[in-house]
Amino acid sequence: MATKIKKLLDIIPRDSLLFSSWMAKKGIDRKEQTLYTHSGWLERIAQGVYKIEGSKPTLYGAIASYNRQLGKQCHIGAASALELRGFSHFIVMGKPAACLFTEKENRLPLWLSKGNWDIDVHYYTTSVFPKEMGLETIEDNGRELLISSPERAIMECLHLSPELYNLMDVYYLMEMLTALRPNLVQDLLESCSSVKVKRLFLYMAEKAAHFWFKSIDQTKISLGRGKRVIGENGKYIGKYQITIPAELVNYE
């Protein structure tokens, strides 16, 4: 009987999870799953969710398993996605954190969003962008991760600012993004439902003087009406009708 579980464990990273429905499709029914648990091959961590006995599943391993085995689309976004691509100036103090996103109708189970992982979870449901626009799959330590492209990730940072991210920190990241794809930036900005994100993005991209910014057609991007205050005691930028921290306006 052990041959079946050995073959299954040989095809997944050790920090993965195993879902009951997926194992059943692979030829290990629920009765056998229970036997493997009693015999020390598997350890149950939630209803229908197992780990390899003695292993320590990571958050990214859990997300990769959740997406691949159950056909879900939880993605890693904002600064976390940029960090996976090497764009980061943050100095991690203590336990690192990851930003996870799903559509509102496909919320993560609590054992996943509230679990005690190697990385703290900041979990959001949002419809600011079209479901799959700007999402990409990368390989990371033998597993596939669904993450935001740099173009979408920096906009997600702005969406979560200033509550989660300081606007100066986001601007430092913007300065690094010298090779964004203007066609994808254009599509995201035209489709984005957040006026705040669009105004801040255009302001920062123009301030950073990126070459790709010249290719953006702002006449196709709706910036809404009225002024927006994003930061107290700030300075007003008339072109984009936003009040932002003076520190950002004065930064050179």
- What does the pLDDT look like over 121-144, one tens digit per residue? 999 998 899 989 999 999 998 899
Residues 75-84, mean pLDDT to the nearest whole number: 95
Task: State pLDDT tens for residues 189-211.
Answer: 999 999 999 999 999 999 999 99
Q: What was the pLDDT predicted at 156?
A: 97
Using 50, 70 and 90 to split pLDDT, how confident is the model at 1? Answer: low
Q: What was the pLDDT predicted at 233?
A: 77
Two tokens at 216?
A: 């953006």
SS3 165: coil
Which phi and psi (to 5°) does residue 210 adopt?
Answer: -70, 145
Using 50, 70 and 90 to split pLDDT, how confident is the model at 90? Answer: low
Task: Provide the CB-side half-sphere exposure for 58 (13 A, CA).
Answer: 15
Residues 170-195, mean pLDDT to the nearest whole number: 97
Instruction: Give the distance from CA 218 to its chain's centroid.
Output: 27
Average pLDDT value for the chain: 93
Residue 118 CB neighbour total at 10 angstroms: 15
Q: What was the pLDDT predicted at 92?
A: 53
Using 50, 70 and 90 to split pLDDT, how confident is the model at 25? Answer: very high
| Nearest Cα to Cα of residue 62 among 117, 139, 23 | 117
Residues 234-250, mean pLDDT to the nearest whole number: 95
Distances (CA, A) of 93 to 80, 97, 193, 216: 15, 10, 33, 37
Domain boundaries, the chain: 2-52, 59-250
Alpha helix (H) ranges present in 39-108? 59-70, 78-84
Q: What was the pLDDT predicted at 121?
A: 96
